[in-house]
Structure 1
């Protein structure tokens, strides 16, 4: 687990794959405390990545910072940008995907709905194709909404699952899911300064193929 920035209000780090974002044994806050050398540090999760997803995250170091960052997320002032490698090729280099999604809690899966109904929510993302290979495409993604597994489901439902996807794809890829939290931006809860942090994914398969 790599720390990118830390002060008295926030910590920015790289969340490893297979680590939960929430505060529990082995979760990201515990890893941050270990990295800071303070097992009793107040570390609070304000946004989440799926357990299998890696990349840049910010955590709050006190209740006031957590409240302010959460408010920015609710008001859509918290910037998040993702990179993904998908199977196949999108017709347009840039575009918007819009779907109706519902969460099947019993199966712990998100599904595409054909029409509005109870528990159905609109999901919107913007994408740009950054690179292509014979089998894959590298896409940059901006979420307009934040539904559970949204990116994974919206691409998989179009026959273009993320490389390494196991929940929403039957393809067997020899890698972790190729979804990376590439960039975040937020107003610092103490100083009021807008800050951005970004990190490229590791140059391993499938990132090194596109």
Structure 2
């Protein structure tokens, strides 16, 4: 019997939860919306996905509880105005600079289901931009706080891996196997305009105190203001 999905906040328009690594974000059997509906009372519960996390990624997600709420949240994401997401990541190695911006052209190979850094523009090649800050460093591991300007498939994973900084546990992009659930990427902060009140709201949640997150002292990260574009 699967464990319940942790619910951080809910009202009649939105639901904030912590997606466990290994659970798909989309509305399919065993996916996050269906599991939440089962917790909340059955198939009649309206839950609409407005953004995604890769299957091996965990952390905060917001789902809409009405069609109108989904429309308004999706609009914020498309306009890249008020919907902001921040991530924590643990990588092997250490960036040369304590903070910086990574800019690449990314493509996606549908056969291998992997993103890649392209050398020149192409039909399905898109610009990708992320901002990072070194939050801590311990031994061979570095904790990064990351925000996105764009939301490309596997963007954080491939941009870091292409610079010799693979996410811990991310074998798909060159990291050695690790004894952990999913990969060391966590959605830890979401902020947006509430679809009913129009007021700005923000939620944060730290990753579980298991390896490799337990290598670092995460106290203080939960209240950090890492604003950036949705994606």
Aligned to 1:174: 179
Aligned to 1:6: 10
Please state whether the residue corresponding to 1:70 is helix, strand or coil.
Answer: helix
Aligned to 1:198: 204
**Within 2, Cα distance between the matches of 1:161 and 1:15?**
22
Match of 2:124 among 101, 109, 119: 119
* Unaligned ranges ≥5, structure 1: none
1:27 matched to 2:3? The reply is no
TM-score (ref. length: structure 1): 0.98
1:63 matched to 2:67? The reply is yes
**Within 1, Cα distance between the matches of 2:206 and 2:177?**
25
Aligned to 1:189: 195
**Within 2, Cα distance between the matches of 1:135 and 1:17?**
23
CA distances 1:36-67 after superposition (whole Å, capped 9, x unpaired): 23431011000000011000000001110000
**Within 2, Cα distance between the matches of 1:170 and 1:16?**
21
Aligned to 1:85: 90
Please state whether the residue corresponding to 1:190 is helix, strand or coil.
Answer: coil
Aligned to 1:207: 213
CA contact (8 A) 2:167 2:175 kept: no
Shift of 1:170: 4.6
Aligned to 1:103: 108
CA contact (8 A) 2:84 2:191 kept: yes
Shift of 1:102: 0.3
**Within 1, Cα distance between the matches of 2:29 and 2:122?**
37
CA contact (8 A) 1:3 1:35 kept: no
Shift of 1:209: 1.1
TM-score (ref. length: structure 2): 0.89
Match of 2:20 among 9, 16, 19: 16
1:140 matched to 2:139? The reply is no
CA contact (8 A) 2:166 2:175 kept: no
**Within 1, Cα distance between the matches of 2:147 and 2:175?**
26
Shift of 1:113: 0.3
* Unaligned ranges ≥5, structure 2: 217-231
Aligned to 2:221: none
**Within 1, Cα distance between the matches of 2:212 and 2:104?**
27
Q: How many residues align?
A: 210
Shift of 1:118: 1.4
